[in-house]
Amino acid sequence: MISRLFSHIEYYILYVKYFLLYAVSFLKFHMSIIYEQSISQISYLTNELQQPVIHLIALFKQNASIITARFHIFLKANKTVILIGSAAYLGIYVFGYLIIFTIRHARYKVLLKKNTLIFSLVKKIKKQSFKQVFKKEFYTNLLTNIGRFITNLITEILLSIENKYGNLKIFREPGYSFELFSRIFFVIIKVTDIFAILLEKGLIALKVLKPKGTDQGLFLTTIEETDDKQLQRVIPEELQHEFHLTGDKQLNEYMDFVNAYKKPLLTAITKWKEKSLSSMLFVGKKGSGKSALIDLLMQRIPRGTEIVKILFEPDEFRKNIFNETLIKITGTGTLEKAVETLKAREKELVVILDNIHFLFFKDQSNIKAFLSFLSLIGNAGGNILWIATINEHSYKFISQFMPVNDTFDFKISINFMKTKDIKNIFINKAEHCGFSIYPRLTENQVKLAKKKIKKGEISYADLPNYILNEYFGKLVDKCENVFPALYHHFLRSISYVRNKRVYISEVNFRDLSFIQDFSNEYFLILTAVLIHEILTLDELVFLLGMNIERLNVYTSFLLKQKILEKYETGEKTFYRINPVYTIQISSILKGKNYFYF
């Protein structure tokens, strides 16, 4: 605020002074031109008639010169008056600004209570106190104002040059020089402003301008997260329920149009029938639809084929998980006997292993168990089809030192769902409970769209669809097909619901770049959790070799920042990465080299 005020004072005073000085020079110059031109214009008149006109013009010139000269003297003598005048003007300006802001703020408050439809519009303003707003503006304008100050300085220098070298041609023609200088100043002001903004952004990115505490200080990118209570007020319960739960009945309906998977999957099943394929691996991020695809695939497996489906849960005791699995599949608890039983089997069997990364624990004894499991798949014989799913991060890590790629005959990466497919899923889900999705048009969007309409790229009728596509495109880019993240951001982008129409606006993504400055321990914790998907505190202690008290401090902070979240099952409490931030965190870890694989 102080910087803004000072900048305004300096800025206006200098420019008022500058303008007045030029006005004086301009008047002086034009008076002489008017005089000369008037004389030439009246040359056709007779001498009698010329004389009074010449006299009048001379009188006018004399008076004008006296007026401008007096004005010039007045300006020079009354610097304090000009200063006070400008300050008063600024005072009124700032006061007016404050009043307008207060009225707006109060108006929003009243509207907020009366009309929930504009709730989403004003929720950010409501959250920001006066102090925050001014603090934000103070920082935002600080460097821009430095730019202005430099511009003013240049103006001053140029004025002093003019005073010193006023006899030069360029200064003798005020009209020309005014135009020239105003152009130069305009360019300088623009360039300086742009540089100031760029410099500011750069310094924030480089953490030279360090915000206090967490992301709250990142004024250019801070996004307020909508909490669940607020969400409840905007989005109807049935819609939230629809987006949070995926029932088996609807699965086929939602996934059936994802044609990209069908062909390779059917080819794989045919190959298995021909005994040239015995194992398939689905790799994908958490929430990318691996399990959903397996359910879809189960419907395509020929009738009569025996199917064993094992869904690995994180709450199972990790050290016994391998033996328990063997018993479930073959009825025996040892590897050798299990291989013998499976080889001797005549009837075809499909073993579906969902989330095999829970079989792996980056622990000395468990590494052996996972290797044994891979050897079981590799040696079981041709009558068995193994279908397994694995988390992408775990897969990338494990395959560095385990023969995962050699063991499985067929591998599919689940990451090629198109924007169009995701858009259809959302539209279908909304339609399923009687809603339809509409874009909420902002002025900028309409302006951009109008340009496209003018160019003939889209028609007026296509406008909502075009903006919906843009919206989903951004959503998919940021969320990389991770469904929990997609749902999270989609629900938070709902502006309002009216007459069973859901109006959605631009998606706000919280910037996690503040974690760049965290200490190594945080990155080690995040890497371990990403590799294993979920971990208990004890497991983290074991994996990282830290003591529990220290680890508690780190995990509590990450929980507070909503980067980690707790997942309770049975008596155990697990930690996992908030799926909304998985993509951002993994890219930060890659940048920091913790995710080198």
Partner 1 sequence: MKNILKEITYNRILSTILIIFLTYIVGKIISAILKKLAEKYSQKRIQIKGFIPISKLVIYTTAILFISFGVLHISKDTLTALGLSLGVALGFAFQDIIGNLFGGIIIIFVKPFTIGDKIKIGSHYGEVTDISIRRFVLVTSDDNAITVPNKTILTEKVSNANSGELNCQVVTEIYLPYTIDIEAAEQAGYEAVYASPYSYLKKSVSMAFESTLNEVPVIKMKVKAYVFDHRFEVKFSSDITKRVISILSETGSLTVKSFSP
The footprint of partner 1 (CB under 8 A) covers 205-208, 362-365, 367-368, 397, 400-401, 516, 520, 524, 527-528, 543-545, 590-594, 596-597
The amino acid present at 273, given as its one-letter code, is K
- For residue 546, the minimal CB distance to partner 1 (Å) is 10
**Rounded distance between C-alpha atoms, residue 115 and residue 187, angstroms:** 46
- For residue 311, the minimal CB distance to partner 1 (Å) is 26
Residue closer to partner 1 by CB (options 83, 197) is 197
- 10 Å CB burial of residue 92 (0-12, 13-18, 19+) is exposed
Residue closer to partner 1 by CB (options 69, 208) is 208
Residue closer to partner 1 by CB (options 196, 479) is 196
- 10 Å CB burial of residue 59 (0-12, 13-18, 19+) is exposed
* Residue pair 359/312 in contact by the 8 Å Cβ criterion: yes
CA angle 526, 211, 206 (to 5 degrees): 75
- For residue 514, the minimal CB distance to partner 1 (Å) is 12
User: 400-417 burial, b if ≥16 CB within 10 A, otherwise e?
Assistant: eebebeebbbbbbebeeb
* Residue pair 488/580 in contact by the 8 Å Cβ criterion: yes
Residue closer to partner 1 by CB (options 110, 206) is 206
Residue closer to partner 1 by CB (options 109, 207) is 207
- For residue 552, the minimal CB distance to partner 1 (Å) is 18
User: Nearest to residue 265, comparing CAs of 251, 242, 281, 253?
Assistant: 281
The neighbouring-strand residues paired with 574 are: 536, 567
- For residue 595, the minimal CB distance to partner 1 (Å) is 9
Order the strands of the 501-504 sheet from edge to edge: 436-439, 501-504, 494-498
Residue closer to partner 1 by CB (options 77, 206) is 206
- Give CA 182 to chain center in angstroms: 39
Q: Which residues contact 297 (CB under 8 A, 6 or more apart)?
A: 265, 269, 387
Backbone angles phi, psi at 576, to 5 degrees: -145, 160
**Rounded distance between C-alpha atoms, residue 393 and residue 530, angstroms:** 6
Residue closer to partner 1 by CB (options 186, 597) is 597
- For residue 236, the minimal CB distance to partner 1 (Å) is 43
- For residue 367, the minimal CB distance to partner 1 (Å) is 5
Residue closer to partner 1 by CB (options 368, 450) is 368
**Rounded distance between C-alpha atoms, residue 9 and residue 14, angstroms:** 8
* Residue pair 255/244 in contact by the 8 Å Cβ criterion: no
First-to-final CA distance of the chain: 48
Residue closer to partner 1 by CB (options 397, 483) is 397
- For residue 527, the minimal CB distance to partner 1 (Å) is 7
Pairing of strands 410-413, 279-284: parallel
Residue closer to partner 1 by CB (options 46, 593) is 593
The neighbouring-strand residues paired with 351 are: 308, 386
Residue closer to partner 1 by CB (options 95, 596) is 596
Nearest-10 crossing angle of helices 582-591, 520-532: 120
- For residue 404, the minimal CB distance to partner 1 (Å) is 13
* Residue pair 453/459 in contact by the 8 Å Cβ criterion: yes
* Residue pair 389/282 in contact by the 8 Å Cβ criterion: yes
- For residue 175, the minimal CB distance to partner 1 (Å) is 37
- For residue 229, the minimal CB distance to partner 1 (Å) is 36
The token pair that represents 11 in the structure block: 């800025």
